[in-house]
Structure formats: C-alpha cells, structure tokens
Amino acid sequence: MRTIEWDTAKQSLRVIDQRQLPEKYEFIYLDNYKAIAESIWNMAIRGAPVIGVAAAYGVVLAGLQSTAKDRTQFLTDVRTAAKELNDSRPTAVNLPWALKRMLSIIEGQDIPVAEMKSALLAEANVMAEEDILVNKTIAKNGAPLIKDGDTIIHHCNTGALATVDWGTALGIIRFAFEEGKHIHILVDETRPRLQGARLTAWELKQMGIPYDIISDNMAGYFLSTGQVQKVFFGADRVSANGDVANKIGSYMLALAAKDNNIPVYSVFPTSTVDLSIQDGKRIPIEERDPEEVLALSLNGQRVMPEGATARNPAFDVTPARLVTAYVTELGVVQQPFSVQYKELLRLQEG
C-alpha cells in the first residue's frame, strides 16, 4: 500500500488522506508546496519517514512552479519553500533531514534552472524508493525478535501509512506474520488522535493479523499479568545517546514494560537519528491544538465541561535506559546506543 506517489501526468503528489481512515479510503492530490506543508500539519500526511519524503516533493513542486530564469532567484524560491515545509512540524528530524538532502542536490551546482528542476524530481523519486527498501530491510532485521505465539503491544501507527510503503515497527510485525508466526497485537488506541485505533487497526485488518484495540491506560494491566511478550513503537527523533522522542504515551508504556521485564524495541530508519542533539531533553516537542483533546465525545455528546482547557504535547521522550534495543536498516542496535550505532555507521561506510 503506497501512501504517497508522484503523479507525472498531474504534476502533483497523490497521498492517502489519513484523516478519513478508517471510514473512507481516499486520495488527495497536492499540487503546490503550501498544500503539502498544510497536509503535514493537519496530519493528512503523518509518520516521520513519510513526512520527510512528502516534504522532498514539496521542494520539487516549489522548483517546478518557480518562474525564476536565473539560478540565484531559483535557489531563493526553493529555500523559501523548504523553510515553510520545515516549520510544518518541529519534532520529527526526518523533515529537516530530507530538506537538507534536497537542497544539497542543487546548491553549489552551476547548472541551468531546467536541469535543477529535473534533478530535484529525480532525487525525491530516489528518496521514495529508498524509503521502501529501507523499511523492508528493517523488517528483515527485526523479525527474528518476534517469536511464534508472541503477543505484542504496539503504540501509535508505524505501518505503511507512516512511511512511503511497508512500515517500520508494524513492518516487522507484518514480516514475522508472513513468515508464518502466530502473533497477536494489542493496539494502543493512542489518544488524542487515535492513530492506533484508526490507522494501525485498519492496517492490521487489511493484512489479516489478529489484534485487539486497548485504551492507552490498559497497557500496564496486560504487561503486569504476563499477557504480553514484547513492546514495539517507532521514533520521530533519536538523540545521540539513544533517547527516543515518539508519540505521546510511549514513555509511560516503556516504564510499565521495564517494571515487568518486558523488552521494548524502538524501530526507525537511521535518518531519524539526530547526532547533533546529545540527549532527549534537547529535542523540541510539538504542542498541538488543545481542541484535539477537548473534542472527545460519548454517546454523541461532548464530555468536557464548557470552558475546559487542555494541554496537548504530541510527543514524549523515552530515556535510552528503558529501551532494550533499536531496530534500523543497519541492524539491531543494542545498548550502549551511542557506541553501537557509531560502530555500525563505521562498518557501513567502510
């Protein structure tokens, strides 16, 4: 299931509108960079890996629609778009990573404007295909962690919808299931936007993987009663020491798992690692509209008292000490993260 795809005929980005799932499976076409930035912010497009690739296509659209005749003005137009795209969501490092990579294709290159436009599109297409390959490699690396008969708690959504295709943590679960392992998934509903209940459950249903939805505050019960063998979640930014910024609720889940000696696996592509940030305390945390929390209804009626206020941080940080291992396309990274990860990078480069 491809979440986003460039439409050559329409010169636009076709994306699954994740706001409509699971009730409707609809595509929208985004034909300018501002529309992509807005779709990232309003979470029509969501998931750290895929928002990076979507932003890359935003740069493509800015370039294609630039009327600049000279290289200097073209670069100005593209950089302006890149800044607006970068500001659409602050926590996921895949966003600035992708934008930096796109700009590097044309900065310092003395080539005509037409060639720069072509180069940007070619690079975005490469990034999209790389994302799929990386995700499948992550899945192969992580599948041995899952044993036949495991029940797994999965937080938020890390499937194909969070990537260009296949998925990260949910991609591992899919791979293990397709190997023939009998597994069962407890899906954290993931308040307040319910990415687990709306999106992960929908994906699991498409794949035929058995699951039950649980409210986020039920996880401790299932962990403490021996009904869970593994915890899996993704990452939006990983600091140099291995602290993981991920969807709000991940920290509490990891704490409960640690207290019950249940392994916790954070799954992500290496583009999610930010070696410029030493620890999780320095990771910027997005705070979204309180209305996402306040809009809860029961039996068709709003449950919050009139005039109620709310806080809505979209992410929290799980300290490295609570993570058993990290699964990347380079392999399974054990503790200490900073040492193991740098060694894997060295081996890859060498």
User: To which residue do tokens 């993981």 refer?
Assistant: 244
188 in active site: no
Is residue 52 exposed (0-12), middle (13-18) or buried (19+ Cβ within 10 Å)?
A: buried
Is residue 348 exposed (0-12), middle (13-18) or buried (19+ Cβ within 10 Å)?
A: exposed
Is residue 111 exposed (0-12), middle (13-18) or buried (19+ Cβ within 10 Å)?
A: exposed
Pick the catalytic residue: 216, 236, 274, 316? Answer: 236
Give the dihedral sign, CA 158/163/165/171: negative
Other C-beta atoms closer than 10 Å to the C-beta of 144 total 12
Is residue 297 exposed (0-12), middle (13-18) or buried (19+ Cβ within 10 Å)?
A: exposed
What residues act catalytically? 236
